[in-house]
């Protein structure tokens, strides 16, 4: 009898421990996988990327005691719990971030899948995490087959040329796809700002960091454009912004020689297409591209953008559109020696409605956004062709009832003690209506401002709160 009681007691303890373990593991899992601090990134350059994850547990006091990572070159192996590129084995550590990949050598332009499981303080393993991936970039210069191209226009010769309109170029390439596309990656770099499109669809949403304009280094972006391509006619297009010009007129007198060393704005792009039958094709930036001036007549990172809608070209980034007046591009001389992937999160943009409008003077409206923001506005307006609207941005209203557009920009190399390197600039955009008796919608592409108030002058009709909305940039 005693033996039966002991057996029953042992059985109950065993069942309870299993139940406890299952319920515990159910509330302990791994999520939020990142590579180089990004979720499922493209364009990884380092051969030993850093991996990280988050532990979720019903018990906030519970912590990781060990982990195991598996990395594979195909998702099926990950589902089986196999890592044909790297299986870390069980590693005793509470670390969940900055774990260095230590497997087989990673290949350029290839995608890798990975998963991790964690052991809690009772040494009970979680389920394998949902698989994540990272995709390698170009890694080595020899993988670039494309060439730098530009519009070939001459550089400014003197201080007065800096003040004249210098329309940024539009560029396009047309070709035909005859087979079904399995995947497509676009690797692209610019010497300044740019937006790129496939069949009219914009690829990516980003704002280049300061490294994009280093004399020694230019960063490139990687975009998954598989869903943007189609069988039949295709068009790859770019609107190419100028380099960062100094915003202060006094700076210009000292910078003409420096400007000449940067040359005209240029683009480098390589579109890699994999077809469902296994064949590959590259579409490159080369001399088969065409160019024409854009409606952006001037722009600067902070001081503003000036746009003449009368110069718009309907369907410029769509297949089958007329290319009369477009001319051949030229090879561009780009002095930067290093191309590296721009590993930063996508810029998030959020709409923000103004809360108040005042009309202190004739043909002058001031919109109050209700808070200080970094971004631009989206203008919605209808009027006569050739009407020029001035748009000033600022954080305060002057005694004369105008917005104060002057702000101080602190550059990365500013001496915080002496303030040397700070720059005072004027924030102002302008827009010239095309006047087609329909609502015109415009948002600056290659500038951003710091402001609460927006002053619009030069428009003869009454404006309302519906005529603008703020576009808040979130760089986090």
Residues linked to residue 67 through DSSP beta bridges, in sequence order: 91, 118
Higher-confidence residue of 190 and 274: namely 274
Residue 30: what pLDDT?
96
How many CA atoms lie less than 13 Å away from 268 in the CB half-sphere?
24
Contact in structure between 373 and 352 (CB atoms under 8 Å)? yes
Homologous superfamily of the 2-135 domain (CATH)? Immunoglobulins (2.60.40.10)
Given pLDDT bands bounded at 50, 70 and 90, which one contains residue 21? very low
pLDDT, tens only, 324-344: 999 999 999 887 777 889 877
**What is the pLDDT at residue 253?**
43
Higher pLDDT, 29 or 1: 29
Compare 78 and 20 and report the one with higher pLDDT: 78
Burial 238-258 (b: 16+ CB within 10 A, else e): bbbbbbbbbbeeeebeebeee
| Confidence at residue 59, expressed as pLDDT on a 0 to 100 scale | 80
Is the model's pLDDT at 49 over the cut of 80? Answer: yes
φ, ψ dihedrals at 427, nearest 5°: -95, 110
Residue 161 vs residues 154, 157, 294: alpha-carbon distances, Å: 11, 6, 18
Angle 374-221-187 from CA coordinates, rounded to 5°: 150
Q: What percent of the chain has pLDDT above 90?
A: 70
Assigned CATH topology for domain 348-474: Jelly Rolls (2.60.120)
* Cβ atoms within 10 Å, residue 181: 19
| Domains 2-135 and 348-474 equal at CATH topology level | no
User: Does 475 have pLDDT greater than 80?
Assistant: no
Does residue 280 carry a pLDDT above 70? yes
Quick one: three-class SS letters along the chain? CHHHHHHHHHHHHHHHHHHHHHHHHHCEEEEEEEECCECCCCCECCCCCEEEEEEEECCCCCCCCEEEEEEECCHHHHHCCCCCCEECCCEECCCCCCEECCCCCCCCCCEEEEEEEEECCCCCECCCCCCEEEEECCCCHHHCCCCCEECCCCCCCCHHHHHCCCCCEEEEEEEEECCCEEEEEEEEEECCCEEEEECCEECCCCCCCHHHHCCCEEEEEEEECHHHCCCEEEEEEEEECCCCCCCCHHHHCCCHHHHHCCCCCCEEEEEEEEECCCCEEEEECCCCCEEEECCEEEEECCCEEEEEHHHCCCCCCCCCCCCCCCEECEECCCCCCEEEECCCCCCEEEEECCCEEEEEECCEEEEEEEEEEEEEEEEEECCCCCCEEEEEEECCECCCCCECCEEEEECCCCCCCCCCCEEEEECEEEEECCCCCCCEEECCCCCCEEEEEEEEECCCCCCCHHHEEEEEEECC
What pLDDT sits at residue 261?
40
Overall fold of domain 144-341 = Jelly Rolls (2.60.120)
Q: How far apart are CA 65 and CA 61, in angstroms?
A: 12
- Domain spans in the chain, listed from the N-terminal domain onward: 2-135, 144-341, 348-474
> Can you give the pTM of this predicted structure?
0.87
Q: Kindly report, residue by residue over 444-460, the tens digit of the pLDDT.
A: 999 999 999 999 999 99
pLDDT given at position 265:
87
Q: What is the pLDDT of residues 121-174, one digit of tens each?
A: 999 999 999 999 999 999 999 999 999 999 988 776 666 666 678 899 999 999
Q: What mean pLDDT comes out for the span 374-394?
A: 96
* pLDDT(252) > 50: no
pLDDT-based confidence at residue 250 (cuts at 50, 70, 90): very low
Q: Round to whole Å and give the CA distance between 426 and 451.
A: 12
Mean pLDDT across 384-410: 94
Nearest of 295, 462, 468, 308 to residue 385 by alpha carbon: 308
For residues 415-432, average pLDDT: 79
Nearest to 34 by CA among 78, 125, 88, 98: 98
Residue 78 has pLDDT above 90, yes or no: yes
Q: State pLDDT tens for residues 210-231.
A: 545 566 788 899 999 999 999 9
Task: Provide the terminal-to-terminal Cα distance of the chain, rounded to the nearest Å.
Answer: 69
pLDDT at position 415: 58
CA dist 425 and 351 (Å) reads: 25
Q: Considering only residues 207 and 353, tell me which one the structure prediction assigns the higher pLDDT.
A: 353
pLDDT at 260 over 50: no
More confident of the two residues 27 and 74: 74
Higher pLDDT, 214 or 11: 214
pLDDT at 408: 87
Average pLDDT (183-195) is: 93
What's the rounded mean pLDDT across residues 230-249? 77
Please provide the average confidence, as pLDDT, over all residues in the chain: 87
Lowest model confidence (mean pLDDT) among 82-91, 154-163, 285-294, 428-437: 154-163
User: How much is the pLDDT for 279?
Assistant: 97
The candidate with the shortest Cα–Cα distance to 122, out of 80, 66, 173, is 66
């Amino acid at each position: 009898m005693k033996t039966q009681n002991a057996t029953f007691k042992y059985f109950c303890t065993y069942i309870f421990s299993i139940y406890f373990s299952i319920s515990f593991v159910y509330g302990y899992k791994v999520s939020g996988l990142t590579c180089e601090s990004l979720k499922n990134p493209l364009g990884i350059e380092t051969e030993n990327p850093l991996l990280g994850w988050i532990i979720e547990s019903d018990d906030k006091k519970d912590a990781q005691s060990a982990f195991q990572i598996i990395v594979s070159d195909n998702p099926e192996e990950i589902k089986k719990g196999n890592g044909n590129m790297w299986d870390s084995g069980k590693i005793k550590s509470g670390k969940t971030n900055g774990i260095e990949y230590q497997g087989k050598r990673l290949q350029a332009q290839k995608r890798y899948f990975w998963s991790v499981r964690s052991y809690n303080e009772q040494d009970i393993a979680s389920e394998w995490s949902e698989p994540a991936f990272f995709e390698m970039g170009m890694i080595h210069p020899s993988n670039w087959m494309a060439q730098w191209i530009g519009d070939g226009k001459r550089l400014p010769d003197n201080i007065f040329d800096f003040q004249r309109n210098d329309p940024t170029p539009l560029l396009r390439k047309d070709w035909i796809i005859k087979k079904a596309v399995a995947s497509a990656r676009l690797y692209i770099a610019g010497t300044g700002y740019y937006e790129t499109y496939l069949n009219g669809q914009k690829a990516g949403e980003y704002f280049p960091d300061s490294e994009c304009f280093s004399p020694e280094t230019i960063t490139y972006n990687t975009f998954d454009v598989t869903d943007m391509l189609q069988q039949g006619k295709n068009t790859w297009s770019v609107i190419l912004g100028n380099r960062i010009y100094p915003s202060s007129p006094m700076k210009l007198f000292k910078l003409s020689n420096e400007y000449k060393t940067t040359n005209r704005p240029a683009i480098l792009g390589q579109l890699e297409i994999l077809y469902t039958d296994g064949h590959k094709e590259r579409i490159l930036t080369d001399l088969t591209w065409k160019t024409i001036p854009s409606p952006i007549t001037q722009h600067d990172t902070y001081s503003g953008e000036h746009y003449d809608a009368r110069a718009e070209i309907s369907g410029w980034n769509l297949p089958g559109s007329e290319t009369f007046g477009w001319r051949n591009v030229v090879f561009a001389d780009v002095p930067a020696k290093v191309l590296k992937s721009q590993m930063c999160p996508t810029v998030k943009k959020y709409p923000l409605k103004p809360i108040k409008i005042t009309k202190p003077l004739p043909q002058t409206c001031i919109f109050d956004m209700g808070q200080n923001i970094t971004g631009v506005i989206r203008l919605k307006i209808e009027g006569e062709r050739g009407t020029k609207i001035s748009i000033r941005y600022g954080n305060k209203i002057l005694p004369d009832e105008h917005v104060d557009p002057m702000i101080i920009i602190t550059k990365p190399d500013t001496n915080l003690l002496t303030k040397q390197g700070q720059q005072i600039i004027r924030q102002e955009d302008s827009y010239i209506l095309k006047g087609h008796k329909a609502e015109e919608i415009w948002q600056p592409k290659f500038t951003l401002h710091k402001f609460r108030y927006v002053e619009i002058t030069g428009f003869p009709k009454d404006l309302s709160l519906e005529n603008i909305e703020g576009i808040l940039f979130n760089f986090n």
